[in-house]
Structure 1
Amino acid sequence: MNLGIVGTGKIVVDALFAMQPIKDIKLKSIFARPRSREKGVELAKKYGITEVFTDYDEMFDSGHVDTVYIGLVNMVHFEYAKKALEKGINVILEKPFVGNYQEAKELIDIAKEKGCFVFEAITVLHNDVILKMKEALPKLGRIRMMTANYSQYSSRYDRYLAGDVDPAFDPACLSGALRDINVYNIHYAAELFGRPEKVSYHPNRGFNGVDTSGTLVMEYDGFSAVCTGAKDSDSPCFVTVQGEKGYMKIDGKPNVAPNLTIVTVDDSGELVKDAAGAMTRKTKIEEFVPSETHHRMTREFIDFARIIDEKDYREWERYARETLDVMSVLDRC
Structure 2
Amino acid sequence: MPLKLAVLSTSRIVAEFMAHLTEMPEIQVTALCCRPQSEAKARAMAEAHGVPRVFTDEDACYAAGGFDAVYIGTANHLHYTAAKKALEAGYHVILEKPFTATAAEARELFDLADRKGVILFEAITTPYLPAYRFLRDNMGNIGPVRGAMASFCARSARYDDYLKGIWNTTFDPACNGGALNDMNVYNLHFFWGLLGMPEECEYRPSLGQNGIDTAGTALLYYPDFCAVALAAKDSESEKFASIQGPGGYLMLHGGTNSLDEVYAVLGGIRGGGTRTDAPRATRHRMAYEFAEFARIVAEKDRAAEAEARTRTLAVMELLDRLHADDVQ
**Mapping for residues 60-139 of structure 1, pairs under 5 Å:** 60-139=62-141
Partner residue of 1:311?
Answer: 300
- What SS does the corresponding residue of 1:232 show, helix, strand or coil? coil
Which ranges of structure 1 fall in alignment gaps of 5 or more residues?
A: 272-279
Residue of structure 2 in register with 1:301 after alignment: 290
Which position in structure 2 is the counterpart of 1:167? 169
Deviations 1:11-30 (A, max 9, x none): 11111122223333221111
> Aligned residue for 1:264?
266
1:292 aligns with 2:294: no
Q: 1:330 aligns with which of 300, 319, 324?
A: 319
Please tell me the residue identity of whatever aligns with 2:314: D
Secondary structure, in 3 states, of the residue corresponding to 1:320? helix
**Structure 1 residue 151, shift from structure 2 partner:** 0.7
How many residues are treated as equivalent by the alignment? 320
**Preserved contact between residue 194 and residue 325 of structure 1 (Cα < 8 Å):** no
Runs of 4+ with deviation above 4 angstroms: none
Question: Equivalents in 1 of 2:104, 2:250: separation in Å?
Answer: 34
Counterparts of 1:281 and 1:329 in 2: how far apart (Å)?
A: 35
2:155 equivalent to 1:153: yes
| Aligned-residue offset at 1:282 | 4.5
Q: Which residue is 2:247 aligned to?
A: 245
1:194 to partner: Cα distance: 2.1
Q: Quote the residue 1:20 is aligned against.
A: 22
**Is the CA contact 2:4–2:30 (under 8 Å) kept in the aligned structure 1?**
yes
The answer to whether the Cα contact below 8 Å between 2:131 and 2:281 also exists between their aligned partners in 1 is no
Quick check: 1:214–1:230 contact (8 Å CA) kept in 2?
A: yes
1:5 and 2:12 aligned: no
- Amino acid corresponding to residue 167 of structure 1 in structure 2: T
State the Cα RMSD in Å. 1.3
Superposition map of 1:139-288 within 5 A: 139-266=141-268, 280=270, 282-288=272-278
Report which of the two structures shows the higher radius of gyration computed on alpha carbons.
1
Preserved CA contact (<8 Å) 2:198 2:220: yes
In the aligned structure 2, how far is the partner of 1:111 from the partner of 1:222? 38
8 A contact 1:250–1:261 mirrored in 2: yes
Deviation per CA, 1:126-159: give whole Å up to 9, x if none.
2111110000000011111110000111111111
Q: TM-score, normalised by structure 2?
A: 0.94
Name the CA shift for 1:264/1:281 in 2 (closer, same or farther; >3 Å): same
Structure 1 distance, partners of 2:147, 2:316, is 22
How far apart are the structure 2 equivalents of 1:305 and 1:331?
29
Does the 8 Å contact 1:176/1:210 carry over to 2? yes
Aligned-residue offset at 1:281: 8.0
Aligned partners of 1:261, 1:27: CA distance in 2, in Å? 35
Letter in 2 for 1:330: L
Change (3 A) 1:12 1:281: closer
Q: Distance in 2 between matches of 1:329 and 1:230?
A: 18
Higher mean alpha-carbon deviation, 68-77 vs 307-316, is at 307-316
Q: CA deviation at 1:260?
A: 1.1
Letter in 1 for 2:295: R
Is there any run of 5+ residues in structure 2 with no aligned partner, and where? 323-328
Q: In the TM superposition, what whole-angstrom CA distance separates every residue of 1:63-110 from its partner, at most 9, and x where no partner exists?
A: 212100001000010001011112221111111111000001111121
| Contact 2:7/2:33 (8 A) holds in 1 | yes
Shift of 1:183: 0.8
Q: TM-score, normalised by structure 1?
A: 0.93
CA distance in 1, matches of 2:225, 2:314: 18
Could you report, residue by residue, the CA deviation over 1:132-190 in whole angstroms, capped at 9, with x for unpaired residues?
00000000111111100001111111111111111100010000000001111000111
CA distance in 1, matches of 2:271, 2:16: 45
The 3 A distance-change label for structure 1 pair 282 and 51 is closer
Instruction: Give aligned-pair identity as a percent.
Output: 39
Aligned amino acid, residue 325 of structure 1: A
